[in-house]
Amino acid sequence: MAQKIPLVDLKAQYAAIQQDIDTAIQQVIGSTAFIMGPEVRSFEEAFATFCGSPYCVGVASGTAALELVLRAGGVGPDHEVITAAHTFIATAEAISAVGARPVFVDIDPRTYNLDPDAVAAAVTPATRAILPVHIYGQPADMDRINAIAKTHGLLVVEDAAQAHGATWNGHCAGTLGDAACFSFYPGKNLGAYGDAGAVTTADARLAEQVRLLRNHGRHSKYLHEMKGFGERMDTLQAAVLLAKLRHLQRWTAARRRLAARYTEQLASLELETPYVDARANPAWHLYVIRTPQREALQTFLQERGIGVGVHYPVPLHLQPAYTDLGYRRGELPVTEAVADTCLSLPLFPEMTDAQQDYVVEQIRLFLEG
């Protein structure tokens, strides 16, 4: 009988830490401090320490983190923000939400992250920010991106939604630009039991602005310094995240070991395994291979109980939601080629070697059979 191996296994993770999670949730329910309870600040402090960032502000989602930090950074109408089209749509939606224009540029064919040459070529007088995505958990080339930003006086906001604990030159995602945005969507490397997100930054003013914006522009209950939003992190989610954060380093180590094991075992097969920049230590949110037979391999593995995914099948410049920007197929050839050939294999910290061996064996059967 075919095994069942999901793309991510949140049940296995809960089973391993159930006592901690249940205690944390009960504590919040008992206190009834559901909004901005003490766990929110405790999580912010713990996550700031984890990243090595001076400030962390908890918000309602990764999407909210992106939108609020762009607002706090003064990005608005008539501004352009350079970003990737090979990402989840929230990256660009946040740019649109503040009234700015996403400018999509192509990616590096090896890392699938923003191509710094393409970024440099896309800068105009209207450019206000660069929004690199650390796709699949590997940091973008922050050396070049920060250098370009410095030359032109641009804000750099990391989309670190997939990169908790990833490093670049030994520094954690979350400390590599002016500010960074994290998602704690349940399936992310650090996942809440619902929506949650955070902004990290070393800029006290930016942190303070995000703090105000997330909570109706206020410091005290009915005095509002500015027009803000209801985008706070729930206390319940903060409690879950605080309990889980204690395990994140170990989980990341497990992902790294499994990723190395995939790369080793798949090396002799006719497909492309992930390339890792020498300056990067990825967090391996996803392990993504490439093959021109993507559709057939995807079906073959699914029929054998293996949960595979495609991240992402339609690049943002070709999404119906973004036809107004006027992009055409062919304008971002690397992005389009990756979208057509990428396949995400099961990867989660609790995955056993036997489960992984089964995945590899089925891929081998497909390619050699």
Ligand X SMILES: *Cc1c(COP(=O)(O)O)cnc(C)c1O
Q: What is the DSSP string of 248-276?
A: HHHHHHHHHHHHHHHHHHHTTSSSBPPP-
Contact between 133 and ligand X per CB under 6 A: yes
- 119 or 266, CB closer to ligand X? 119
**Structure token digits, residue 150:** 């410095």
The nearest distance, CB 63 to ligand X, in angstroms, is 3
The nearest distance, CB 343 to ligand X, in angstroms, is 17
The nearest distance, CB 201 to ligand X, in angstroms, is 17
Task: Assess contact for 177 and 293: CB atoms under 8 A.
Answer: no
The single residue among 83, 87, 252, 291 that binds ligand X, judged by CB under 6 A, is: 87
Contact between 183 and ligand X per CB under 6 A: yes
- 184 or 251, CB closer to ligand X? 184
The nearest distance, CB 348 to ligand X, in angstroms, is 16
Q: Which of residues 199-238 bind ligand X (CB under 6 A)?
A: none
Minimal CB distance residue for ligand X:
62
Task: Assess contact for 135 and 285: CB atoms under 8 A.
Answer: no
* 293 vs 314: CA distance, rounded Å: 17
Q: Which residue has the tokens 């939108």?
A: 67
Distances (CA, A) of 168 to 158, 164, 329, 333: 12, 12, 32, 27
* 190 vs 77: CA distance, rounded Å: 33
CA 97 and chain centroid, separation: 19
* 173 vs 138: CA distance, rounded Å: 9
Contact between 159 and ligand X per CB under 6 A: yes
- 185 or 300, CB closer to ligand X? 185
- 133 or 345, CB closer to ligand X? 133
* 353 vs 261: CA distance, rounded Å: 9
- 163 or 363, CB closer to ligand X? 163
Sign of torsion over alpha carbons 17, 22, 25, 26: negative
- 164 or 294, CB closer to ligand X? 164
The single residue among 61, 83, 146, 215 that binds ligand X, judged by CB under 6 A, is: 61
The nearest distance, CB 197 to ligand X, in angstroms, is 5
* 218 vs 73: CA distance, rounded Å: 18
- 133 or 210, CB closer to ligand X? 133
Q: Which stretch binds ligand X (CB under 6 A): 17-25, 35-43, 58-66, 200-208?
A: 58-66
| Count of positions on this chain that bind ligand X (CB under 6 A) | 15
**Structure token digits, residue 277:** 């920049």
Distances (CA, A) of 302 to 101, 309, 355: 38, 10, 14
* 136 vs 113: CA distance, rounded Å: 9
- 162 or 344, CB closer to ligand X? 162
Q: Rounding to the nearest 10 degrees, give the CA dihedral for residues 207, 89, 143, 109.
A: 170
Contact between 165 and ligand X per CB under 6 A: no
Contact between 191 and ligand X per CB under 6 A: no
Contact between 138 and ligand X per CB under 6 A: no
Contact between 47 and ligand X per CB under 6 A: no
Contact between 141 and ligand X per CB under 6 A: no
Binding-site ranges for ligand X (CB under 6 A): 61-63, 87-88, 90-91, 133, 159, 161-162, 183, 185, 195, 197
